[in-house]
Structure 1
């Protein structure tokens, strides 16, 4: 069973939806439960996958804790996404005596800068000692800071399902279209993107689209002001209601990703799937994996002139990276490879006596 609080638009939520769909497609039995509400991404689950909703309002509601423990007790393994959800289910299990095995799937994105242990996490992980991190630094944290055994800690990097679309031939365009997909909060560094585009327009005629949900309204207001202040209104469009970003990638010539801290980032795999070249700051497990294969896509700093040079270089190359992007996606992010990884984790949990 896969557990999360709600399936709003976000990286961990996307991973759960794609993981559940992949497991179902491979013939595995899977159920999804949301602790608070289903959320927008619930509609993207295969309709044959059972979706339960606890409907919790107050996390200290004893009746809801009793019910989640009863539900989890129907399953051998409960795969919980995000630390606070794991803590909630582990507390319910402790109170009401569940015998199922819990796996924490940790998506925390700033582990290199913040290694603090959230309240209760160490206590509950020592009683439910199974951990999957989306990045190698998370795996190292679980061993070094939590004290888990290495054989109970796994790297489970992010994955997405490739949407079948008509892939566009990307010849060098006269007016290239740039895409940035990131929810609007400070760590995504839209402010740098605006400064970059303001300088880029001095040498290149282009348009750009920012796609993302508003996580921090105050930050979003600041970005709108920056767009107006740098006179980007005529070339930058902001979109908040796109639930299918892979479906629009064929309209663009190049993507940029300016976030300075990530656990994934998941969207880079989507660019790879749709063979949309990109320029991204190197942060997160996906960036580490892909830089070894296509180093031209990654930046080590935020020097604007370096970014401009790289953007212009990639645009001039058109479809040069198409084959290498396809090969990288097939080799690193296929459904079968991910299912085998998950099945291996679940098998190890069942064999172990914890």
Structure 2
């Protein structure tokens, strides 16, 4: 079995992390596992295993024919049988298929907001889906969307997973008091909904109880980011809310926190939640996408409607007031992550799906 994962960049993000995870895990299980970044590299490059065949295309435009032919040459040279294209990288995969028809394409949809989009907004994707052999999706709503609109009838739900036995870098030391740190792992952009968390943190006056809030994720230095920083400045939260930007040592960071929060208005399958669970954090999560499947309210975490600040206020108050509750939730979530979202189970399923395509 000879498979290549294709992704636009190796910047830190959910789809990007999963492309790397798949390439790494498959490299131990199949004959050839490759990874191609089309437009940009990034911090995730450091997490690519040495036995993964890696190529950076440095694609300059959507119709960069030089990049298309380089990819075709790589695929032919390495006798690749299946392209596993993540998110928007489906386009270059289809262009390669035009000139190398025997290649099979699996498209992997990680984009939670798609369920709110129309057929018109996805015209190119839907038209080109006739060239897909299979579609993998990260939640049931995306499965229903693809089954309704796409020109590929083989649609399979594949949960995300976390890699096992990763080396843990230890670089970022969080500020604040041990046992009273809330971490929010998400790039600073829509639909991650950071402002509602800042407002809830401020309105509950959690800083008076020595709690601190730590935002980990890429800062795009745009209006979204500016609004967050203005809120922090206006409410004099500099000593209590900390922004760290993109970090490689996420496991080490999470081990320093007690509570993990996710507030997105749309999600696919957030790897963040299983990372929180693996780190044994008490979790407060939005109820969108696959989140309510990972987090069972009052069993493995606390859920809230991301458009309802009163729900977030109530759940944040509950989880910060009770160390016993945090411990119970974190233990239950850890068990669930170990049982359902470890690499071994998911990779076994994906290899089975690949084998069906080869036949």
TM-score by length of 1: 0.89
Q: Cα 1:174–1:142, aligned 2, differ >3 Å: closer, same or farther?
A: closer
**2:37 alignment counterpart:** 34
- Structure 1 position 11, deviation (Å): 0.7
Counterparts in 2 of 1:316-331, with a 5 A limit? 316=322, 317=324, 318-331=326-339
Structure 2 regions of 5+ residues with no counterpart? 169-176
1:75 pairs with 2:75: no
**1:170 alignment counterpart:** none
**1:112 alignment counterpart:** 115
Alignment check: 8 A CA contact 1:185 1:216 kept: no
**2:238 alignment counterpart:** 233
Q: Cα 1:205–1:306, aligned 2, differ >3 Å: closer, same or farther?
A: farther
Counterparts in 2 of 1:250-289, with a 5 A limit? 250-289=255-294
Q: Deviations over 1:121-150 (max 9, x none)?
A: 22321132311111111111111111432x
Q: Distance in 2 between matches of 1:220 and 1:164?
A: 31
- Structure 1 position 37, deviation (Å): 3.1
2:344 to 336, 345, 350: 336
1:153 pairs with 2:155: yes
Q: Cα 1:230–1:305, aligned 2, differ >3 Å: closer, same or farther?
A: same
SS at match of 1:78: strand
1:55 pairs with 2:63: no
Q: Distance in 2 between matches of 1:321 and 1:292?
A: 9
Alignment check: 8 A CA contact 2:182 2:261 kept: yes
Counterparts in 2 of 1:126-165, with a 5 A limit? 126-149=130-153, 152-162=154-164, 163=166
Q: Cα 1:304–1:16, aligned 2, differ >3 Å: closer, same or farther?
A: same
**2:184 alignment counterpart:** 180
**2:11 alignment counterpart:** 8
Q: Cα 1:145–1:305, aligned 2, differ >3 Å: closer, same or farther?
A: closer
1:125 to 126, 129, 135: 129
1:87 to 83, 86, 91: 91
Structure 1 regions of 5+ residues with no counterpart? 166-172
Q: Cα 1:272–1:164, aligned 2, differ >3 Å: closer, same or farther?
A: farther
**2:250 alignment counterpart:** 245
1:205 pairs with 2:210: yes
Q: Distance in 2 between matches of 1:144 and 1:176?
A: 46
Moved more, 174-183 or 8-17: 174-183
- Aligned positions, number: 341
SS at match of 1:36: coil
**2:172 alignment counterpart:** none
Q: Cα 1:280–1:325, aligned 2, differ >3 Å: closer, same or farther?
A: same
Alignment check: 8 A CA contact 1:9 1:41 kept: yes
Alignment check: 8 A CA contact 2:39 2:60 kept: yes
RMSD: 2.3
Q: Cα 1:232–1:77, aligned 2, differ >3 Å: closer, same or farther?
A: same
Q: Distance in 2 between matches of 1:302 and 1:44?
A: 35
Alignment check: 8 A CA contact 2:285 2:291 kept: no
Q: Distance in 1 between matches of 2:40 and 2:178?
A: 46
**2:193 alignment counterpart:** 189
Moved more, 28-37 or 73-82: 28-37
Alignment check: 8 A CA contact 2:133 2:357 kept: no
**1:350 alignment counterpart:** 358
TM-score by length of 2: 0.87
